[in-house]
Amino acid sequence: MNANDTMSAVDLGRRKIVALAAGVPALALGGAVLWESARGRPALAAGTTPIRRNIGRLPADDGYVEAYRDAVRVLRQRSVRDPLDPTGWDGLALQHALYCSSVSANLQVHWGWDFLTWHRGNIWMLERIMRDAIREPSFALPYWDASRDRRIPAIYWGKENPLADVTRLQGPEDELPDDFLDVNGPLSLESFFAFGGYPYDNPSGDLIEGALEQGFHNNVHNWVGGNMGMFATAGFETLFSAHHNNIDRAWEAWRAVRGQGKDPAEDVWLSRRYQFVNERKKLEDVQVKDLLDTRRLGYVFDNFEFGERLKPDPVIDERYAVRLPVDGPRTQGGRQPRILQFSRASVPIHPYCCRVFLEVESGGNERAAQYVGTFTVLPVQRGGAGGLDKSVTMQLSLSDAVRERLEVALSVKVVLVGVPLNGRAIPDAAVFPTDARLVEALI
Ligand code: C2O
């Protein structure tokens, strides 16, 4: 790309609007009227509701891919011309930064029940701004389904590619580990809180993520690394909206499985308000209850499939393993607890990625380790101090297989195994002092 190409893209866009405003077809080629961007891209077919599609499954020469690239290029160019343009790529990235590394708890949109809704609003506004920028009313933001496409899709790589990001700690051939990609586990949870995030004022007094956020969502952020590895910079990475689009799809999948009406009914949630800068550079006030129908927002998804975990459970890498006793009754009212909870866990490093196993000792010295899940703690800032908060509360749901073993257990230990990633070593003796408990439900 060179600046002239892009400038001409923008200029042509303006001429086209002028032509349309005058009621004149923008460009007529060979008898057919085509919408066209500066690069000769044919128009997307105008359809009904725009469909968000899987970028990893579209051929690179699909008109939709070109439209996506064009939209990102135009937004990036806006930021080059005017770094303060709120509809430019950087301006949009900074809005995410404001809502995640903020010193005010009111502005924190991770670690709780604002996670799905705020990010839905954020990428919906990005989609609207992209549509507007390339004059394609039928454009829809594509998603990257890391649960099925475990490499960063090819279209995100390459020099002079507006979709590339040089800060990634992975290359085009690197693959996400299977256990980072569990979407079906969270989808099996009935409670919105357990799936999507707990109320900020829950009885524990802590911010608590839902399973989708603390596992799949955070694991992918951290694995990509670089800009994507920190909330403050994630919005600069094109994979951010592609990943969040997939998270949004997971929420829609959960709603489809559970039936409508399983989202929180609390008015405090439904009436929460966010403000986003829209395509006219105006602040638009959006309430959570207005974000619950994607058709009304102007998009649908092409499908609700997610990958299965492909390999057997991971094994314990003893070099990074830490064992802790587990508190809490093994049966409550004849049932085994569903949740393994870590209270105010003190994370040894940031970001921290960890595999969790339960080691259950039953009679006859039989000791079996069962894999529970993989989570990531991304750096979080909280409270007026501005420093990194290393104390987190989290919950992992237990599979039926694990729960059955608990009843006959003599002792239960939790094994926390740090996961080293490209560019990030696990320091020796990374201890994770925490209180591990078995509980039936958090709230
Ligand atoms: Cu606001 Cu995936 O982060």
> How many angstroms separate the alpha carbon of residue 232 from the centre of ligand 1?
9
Query: pLDDT tens for residues 360-382?
Result: 887 766 677 889 999 998 876 55
Alpha carbon distance 199, 193 (integer Å): 7
Judge whether 396 and 209 are in contact, CB under 8 Å: no
Q: Are strands 273-277 and 352-362 parallel, antiparallel or unpaired?
A: unpaired
Q: Which atom of ligand 1 is nearest to the CA of 115?
A: 1
Above pLDDT 90, what percent of the chain?
Answer: 52
Which residue's alpha carbon is at the smallest distance from atom 3 of ligand 1?
Answer: 231
pLDDT of 202 reads 79
pLDDT of 46 reads 73
Q: Which residue has the tokens 């509980």?
A: 439
Above pLDDT 70, what percent of the chain?
Answer: 84
**How many other C-beta atoms lie within 10 A of the C-beta of residue 12?**
17
Mean pLDDT of 231-258: 95
- 346 - beta bridge partners? 391
**How would residue 25 be classed by pLDDT, with cut points 50, 70 and 90?**
very low
Q: Which residue has the tokens 């940031």?
A: 350
What's the per-residue H, E or C state across the chain?
A: CCHHHHHHHHHHHHHHHHHHHCCCCCEEECCEEECECCCCCECCCCCCCCEECEHHHCCCCCHHHHHHHHHHHHHHHHHHHCCCCCCCHHHHHHHHHHCCCCCCHHHCCCCCCCHHHHHHHHHHHHHHHHHHHHCCCCCCCCECCCCCCCCCCHHHCCCCCCCCCCCCCCCCCCCCCHHHCCCHHHHCCCCHHHHHCCCCCCCCCCCCCCHHHHHHHHHHHHHHCHHHHCHHHHCCCHHHHHHHHHHHHHHHHHHHHHCCCCCCCCHHHHCCEEEEECCCCCEEEEEHHHHCCHHHHCCEECCCCCCCCCCCCCCCCHHHEEEEECECCCCECCECCCEEEEEEEECCCCCEEEEEEEEEEECCCEEEEEEEEEEEECCCECCCCCCECCEEEEEEECCHHHHHHHHCCCEEEEEEEECCECCECCCCCCCCCCEEEEECCCC
Instruction: Enumerate residues 6+ apart whose C-beta is below 8 A from 392.
Output: 206, 207, 342, 344, 345, 347, 377, 380
pLDDT of 364 reads 66
pLDDT of 33 reads 31
Ligand 1 pocket at CB < 6 A: 96, 100, 110, 119, 217, 221, 231, 234, 244
> How many angstroms separate the alpha carbon of residue 405 from the centre of ligand 1?
36
Mean pLDDT of 404-431: 81
Higher pLDDT, 415 or 38: 415
Judge whether 345 and 432 are in contact, CB under 8 Å: yes
Please determine, for residue 5, whether its predicted confidence score (pLDDT) is greater than 80: no
Higher pLDDT, 368 or 357: 357
> How many angstroms separate the alpha carbon of residue 231 from the centre of ligand 1?
6
Judge whether 278 and 129 are in contact, CB under 8 Å: yes
Q: Which atom of ligand 1 is nearest to the CA of 240?
A: 2
Mean pLDDT of 179-184: 94
**In degrees to the nearest 10, what's the CA dihedral of 276, 279, 282, 288?**
-30
> How many angstroms separate the alpha carbon of residue 110 from the centre of ligand 1?
7
Instruction: Enumerate residues 6+ apart whose C-beta is below 8 A from 225.
Output: 167, 168, 169, 170, 421, 422, 423, 424
Tell me which of 85-99, 103-117, 186-200, 296-310 is least confident.
Answer: 103-117
- Mean pLDDT over all residues of the chain? 83
Judge whether 75 and 129 are in contact, CB under 8 Å: yes
pLDDT of 16 reads 34
pLDDT of 69 reads 96
Mean pLDDT of 240-268: 94
- CA dihedral for 363, 369, 371, 375, sign (positive or negative): positive
Q: Which atom of ligand 1 is nearest to the CA of 119?
A: 1
Query: pLDDT tens for residues 281-314?
Result: 999 999 999 999 999 999 999 999 999 877 778 8
Instruction: Enumerate residues 6+ apart whose C-beta is below 8 A from 181.
Output: 146, 147, 150, 216, 219, 220, 307, 309
> How many angstroms separate the alpha carbon of residue 18 from the centre of ligand 1?
38
Segment of 40-54, 195-209, 238-252, 256-270 carrying the highest mean pLDDT: 238-252
Mean pLDDT of 400-419: 86
**How would residue 171 be classed by pLDDT, with cut points 50, 70 and 90?**
very high
> How many angstroms separate the alpha carbon of residue 305 from the centre of ligand 1?
22
pLDDT of 260 reads 73
Q: Which atom of ligand 1 is nearest to the CA of 247?
A: 2
Q: Which atom of ligand 1 is nearest to the CA of 244?
A: 2
Q: Report residue 124 as tokens.
A: 């919906």
Q: Which atom of ligand 1 is nearest to the CA of 118?
A: 1
pLDDT of 332 reads 73
> How many angstroms separate the alpha carbon of residue 234 from the centre of ligand 1?
7
Q: Which atom of ligand 1 is nearest to the CA of 243?
A: 2
Q: Which atom of ligand 1 is nearest to the CA of 221?
A: 2
Please determine, for residue 101, whether its predicted confidence score (pLDDT) is greater than 70: no
pLDDT of 342 reads 86
pLDDT of 313 reads 83
Instruction: Spell 244-255 as b/e; 16+ CB within 10 A means b.
Output: bbbbbbbbbbbb
**How many other C-beta atoms lie within 10 A of the C-beta of residue 411?**
12
> How many angstroms separate the alpha carbon of residue 276 from the centre of ligand 1?
15
**How would residue 272 be classed by pLDDT, with cut points 50, 70 and 90?**
very high
> How many angstroms separate the alpha carbon of residue 111 from the centre of ligand 1?
10
Alpha carbon distance 290, 273 (integer Å): 10
Tell me which of 77-81, 109-113, 143-147, 163-167 is least confident.
Answer: 109-113
pLDDT of 24 reads 32
Q: Which residue has the tokens 């104390």?
A: 391
> How many angstroms separate the alpha carbon of residue 143 from the centre of ligand 1?
14
> How many angstroms separate the alpha carbon of residue 221 from the centre of ligand 1?
8
Q: Report residue 49 as tokens.
A: 């509701």
Higher pLDDT, 393 or 5: 393
> How many angstroms separate the alpha carbon of residue 56 from the centre of ligand 1?
21
Higher pLDDT, 108 or 29: 108
Alpha carbon distance 308, 182 (integer Å): 7
Maximum separation of any 2 CA atoms in the chain, in Å: 86
pLDDT of 81 reads 96
**How would residue 26 be classed by pLDDT, with cut points 50, 70 and 90?**
very low
Mean pLDDT of 335-358: 84
pLDDT of 283 reads 95
**How would residue 433 be classed by pLDDT, with cut points 50, 70 and 90?**
low
pLDDT of 390 reads 56
Q: Which atom of ligand 1 is nearest to the CA of 100?
A: 1
Higher pLDDT, 196 or 45: 196
pLDDT of 423 reads 84
Query: pLDDT tens for residues 28-71?
Result: 333 333 333 445 677 777 778 999 999 999 988 899 999 999 99
